[in-house]
Structure 1
Amino acid sequence: MRKIGIILLLTLLSSIYVFAYNDHRGHNLDSLERAVSRWVPDAIDLASTEELVNLNRAFRDLMLGYSALNSEKCVFYARKALSISEPRGWEEANADAYRYLGQCFWSSEQFDSSMVYYRKALGAVGRMAGGATSPTRPDGYSERDVDDTRSALYGAIGNLYYMMDSIPQAMNWYRKAGAIFDKYGWNQSNAILYYNIGEIWVEQGELRKASQAYEKALAYAQGDSLIVAIAQKGLGRVYMEDGKTWNALRYLHQADAYFSAHDKEELTFTKENYKYMSAALLAQRRQMMLLGGGAILLLLLLLAVLLIGRMLRRSRKEHAEVSAVLEETIQEMGQPASDDRLPQVSEREKEILELLTKGYTTPQIADCLGLSPETVKWYRKKLLVKFDVANTAELTSTVKDMGLI
């Protein structure tokens, strides 16, 4: 049923455009049926050519009117029309009725029967092009008349192949119909055609091709507000399916501006557009939440990198300090004992002793000299041993007595 829904718009609108029917779909069908019911076979046999032309047209009006409502009645009136046109060789009317018979069998998924009637319709179109005449076309059919009939038939055959999942063949027949629309500048028909092609490509998961088809529909619409709106709805759907919610909402909001003003006339499209907008907004919200979570995660990762970098720099600094202390210790061990028996004090130790005598704490000495607290503690222990004292107070007193500070 979804497939039928995709191409129903093309099927219904093209028939009105091409054949200029009196549109009895959904109204006046009963009155028209009553009008033709008096035409029993005997009456038909006695009818004039003009009466037969009008009766054939009435049967085809009923055929069209019931095409979307009652397939059995559509078939019945198509055959009633053919009972008049077939024996008289009215090929345009024949092609029309054959096409609708094919369409009725198509909608009920009787594809073989549908193809039989479409082939008959192609034969009738060929005879139109070959010089057939009718009471309404005594001089034969013009090229435009033939192309009118042919384009509608090509679209119908494309629909049949799509229902049969033969997408390449369906697109081939759609291209043939589109070429005729281009030939005569029938932009509305081309806009509808490409909108439906876009819908088909979305169903197939071919989002790039769908987007191209919707863009063509917009180009052909040329100010037709309804076609522009449904093409925008299609593009919005494509971008939503592709995860591009900002672009999707841009097109869906544009379509909503039209549908909101025509919500009663275009109820189906309005509901579809609302559904796509809701889905796009929900997807956008999820994306924003993911982006927010990702930003927080990135910030935490950056802080972790900075912390690790700081720890590495501190580790390298401490390693350098330890190496310097060890080298200093080794040098002291290699020096001969002093005659005055005064401990040998390095420049670094002297700096630390001066700060200790001023009452500096270990963290303050570390900040002052650019050393780590651990290195300062190591120096303090070393100085206590070197001067053979028990604590900092004795150390500072001793170095002052010795005149080292």
Structure 2
Amino acid sequence: MTMKQSNDQGGSELHRILCVVGARPNFMKMAPIMAAMAAPGAALQPKLVHTGQHYDVAMNHQYFQALGIPEPDVNLEVGSGSHAQQTAEVMRRFEPALDEVQPSAVLVVGDVNSTIACALVAAKKGVPVIHVEAGLRSFDRAMPEEINRVLTDQLSDLLFTTEESGRDNLLKEGIADSRIHFVGNVMIDTLRLNLPRAIATAQIALDAGRPGFADHGYAVLTLHRPSNVDDPVILQRLLETAARISMRTPVIFPVHPRTRATIERFGLSHLLDRQQILLLPPMGYLEMLGLMKDAKVVLTDSGGIQEETTALGTPCITLRHNTERPITVDEGTNTIAGDDPVRIMAAYDQVLAGGGKAGRVPHFWDGRAAERIAVIVRDWLRARG
């Protein structure tokens, strides 16, 4: 564990909030929260802990720089491992950091292993836990993220939801209504702030040595969930479907390292060896934003991308059998297709025929969710004395 030397000046009257990030989706959620908490009048002092759950130093730095996130005050440098190993190691390393900082509360976001690990340590030590993105449910306990979501919500003192269904889920699980606050989606705060800085797809294609690849429209594909990439039958089915789509619409595929490894291990690389498929390394935030913004359609198994495409008005086909973000289907641009090629191609055909689901931007996805969070946290801590 490494800890940055504190330079606090007269901060004793401020409520110190220990903010936890561990994986790249957390970075997009935490950036606007830290900015709102550090704003004049917020009476809050955010301190950042990076657990190192995603341990690609270059990629992490790229995200921090692009999003304007300050360097972490604490680096736990946990790295990879099984779910149990990673969760346990985060807990072991987080406890001394918590003792050192002595915050008024610990704020966690999302549903990764770092989220539940740090929430559990804080709760056992009597430190209030704040969960941003609470109440999301896929109702699929085979997803490790679902376990993390449910348990973190049970440990939390303040729960901030992104959509109204979150409150309903939490009430059914016995969470007191007074602890639940519908504030909107901090991911969309980040998206709206950075949209003018998005990297154009034409530039991305040029940098990849394929100038003009995306000039007449393209689809974006992302795959990373174990249920899709660890099963050779399902992975082959999805890649074959992507190859079929590429015959009509060029496909840009930023390949997750885990996915690349399984494609090679299962001997499926030949399915992507096509002129109309552009394979890219993992993209930075501004690059992904540019790819999603101008795509004809996005095919993904990512939860965050379901939200981002809804905010952008880009049709999304989700390569899962469920979603913990139902508002993206009910109000947004998202269609659930699972791993069935027939359903995927039917959804794709609808996009080509009529532009796909138009949708609308959900309530409170207005770029001010983090501001609402900061005000509620400040007033809540003041009321506690």
TM-score normalised by L of structure 1 = 0.26
Q: Which has the higher helix share?
A: 1
1 or 2 for the larger relative contact order (CA 8 Å, sep ≥6)? 2
**What is the TM-score normalised by the length of structure 2?**
0.27
Pair member with larger Rg: 1
